[in-house]
Amino acid sequence: AQSVSQHNHHVILSEAASLELGCNYSYGGTVNLFWYVQYPGQHLQLLLKYFSGDPLVKGIKGFEAEFIKSKFSFNLRKPSVQWSDTAEYFCAVRGFGNEKLTFGTGTRLTIIP
Amino acid sequence: DARVTQTPRHKVTEMGQEVTMRCQPILGHNTVFWYRQTMMQGLELLAYFRNRAPLDDSGMPKDRFSAEMPDATLATLKIQPSEPRDSAVYFCASGLDSFDQPQHFGDGTRLSIL
């Protein structure tokens, strides 16, 4: 079975600070990995995805994530956050051949102006 | 941009009433997923379909919930009878049954059962 852990439940940062949100997954084979963002009152939007190839993936709005297979991790990073990045961030995993996504519990990010 | 459309956006009703939520997947997508989001449980997969056939509804309380796809452009999630613990945001997502394609989410239905 596939599973995802997001250890940071709530992160508070000042504008211009650097961000790293942790994501660890569990699955015994090839995986797809995703980060979704949910702005207050809105639906989930895809930030970035990893399928294969370069383990450093760049997404929208200046976000990037690095897949480290040996650590089963897919941490999300942004060098300088903005107030508009205030949202909830979800990491998700999908094992090869499995259509179901398993989401982490989410990390609420609050950016202080 | 193609989008997943969900109706209604908000629903408030009394306990015991039937609730029907609708989802129009992105044209051409052949997989449809229903999720429930609550503060306590986060995002839970309730059911999903491929080519209109239900593949997995193990996340759904069978006695009161039902999910169907009457045609390729409509998926429904029904609760009968509804209970206060069903209050949540219900999201529909659609995608292609290809390993390298992500799911696209609708805006959700915010359901409150009084």
pLDDT digits (tens, 9 = 90+) for B47-103: 999 999 998 888 898 899 999 999 999 999 999 999 999 999 999 999 987 666 788
Q: Would B106 be classed as within a structural domain?
A: no
Residues on chain B touching A46 (C-beta within 8 angstroms): 102, 104
Q: Would B69 be classed as within a structural domain?
A: yes
B55 in reach of chain A (CB within 8 A): yes
**Contact residues for A41 (Cβ-Cβ < 8 A; gap 6+):** none
Judged by CB atoms closer than 8 Å, whether chains meet at A103 and B105 is answered as no
Instruction: Report CA Rg, chain B.
Output: 13
Residues on chain B touching A106 (C-beta within 8 angstroms): 42-43
Least confident of A40-49, B22-31, B78-87: A40-49
Judged by CB atoms closer than 8 Å, whether chains meet at A97 and B99 is answered as yes
pLDDT computed for residue B40 by the predictor: 82
Average pLDDT of span A71-76: 96
As a whole-number percent, the residues of chain A with pLDDT over 90 amount to: 74
Provide DSSP, B30-92. -EEEEEEEETTTEEEEEEEEETTEEEE-TTS-TTTEEEEEEETTEEEEEESS--GGG-EEEEE
Judged by CB atoms closer than 8 Å, whether chains meet at B105 and A36 is answered as yes
Q: Would B104 be classed as within a structural domain?
A: no
What digits encode the pLDDT tens for the residues A85-103?
A: 999 999 999 888 777 888 9
pLDDT computed for residue B57 by the predictor: 84
Separation CA B54–CA B32 (nearest Å): 9
CATH number of residue B67's parent domain:
2.60.40.10
What digits encode the pLDDT tens for the residues A26-38?
A: 998 889 999 999 9
What domain range is B81 assigned to?
A: 5-95
Domains and CATH numbers, chain A: 3-112 (2.60.40.10)
A76 token code pair:
């999300």
As a whole-number percent, the residues of chain A with pLDDT over 70 amount to: 100
Q: Would B100 be classed as within a structural domain?
A: no
pLDDT over threshold 70, residue A51: yes
Number of compact structural domains in chain B: 1
Q: Would B107 be classed as within a structural domain?
A: no
pLDDT over threshold 80, residue B8: yes
B104 in reach of chain A (CB within 8 A): yes
Residue B22 host element (H or E): strand B19-24
The length of chain B in residues reads 114
pLDDT over threshold 70, residue B23: yes
Q: Would B75 be classed as within a structural domain?
A: yes
Largest alpha-carbon pair distance within chain A? 43
Q: Would B89 be classed as within a structural domain?
A: yes
Helix (H, G, I), strand (E, B) or coil at A83: helix
Judged by CB atoms closer than 8 Å, whether chains meet at A100 and B48 is answered as yes
Separation CA B81–CA B83 (nearest Å): 7
pLDDT computed for residue B100 by the predictor: 66
Mean pLDDT across chain B: 92
Separation CA B41–CA A105 (nearest Å): 8
Q: Would B17 be classed as within a structural domain?
A: yes
User: From the candidates A37, A96, A99, which should be mutated to test the interface with B, based on the most B CB atoms within 10 A?
Assistant: A99
pLDDT over threshold 90, residue A2: no
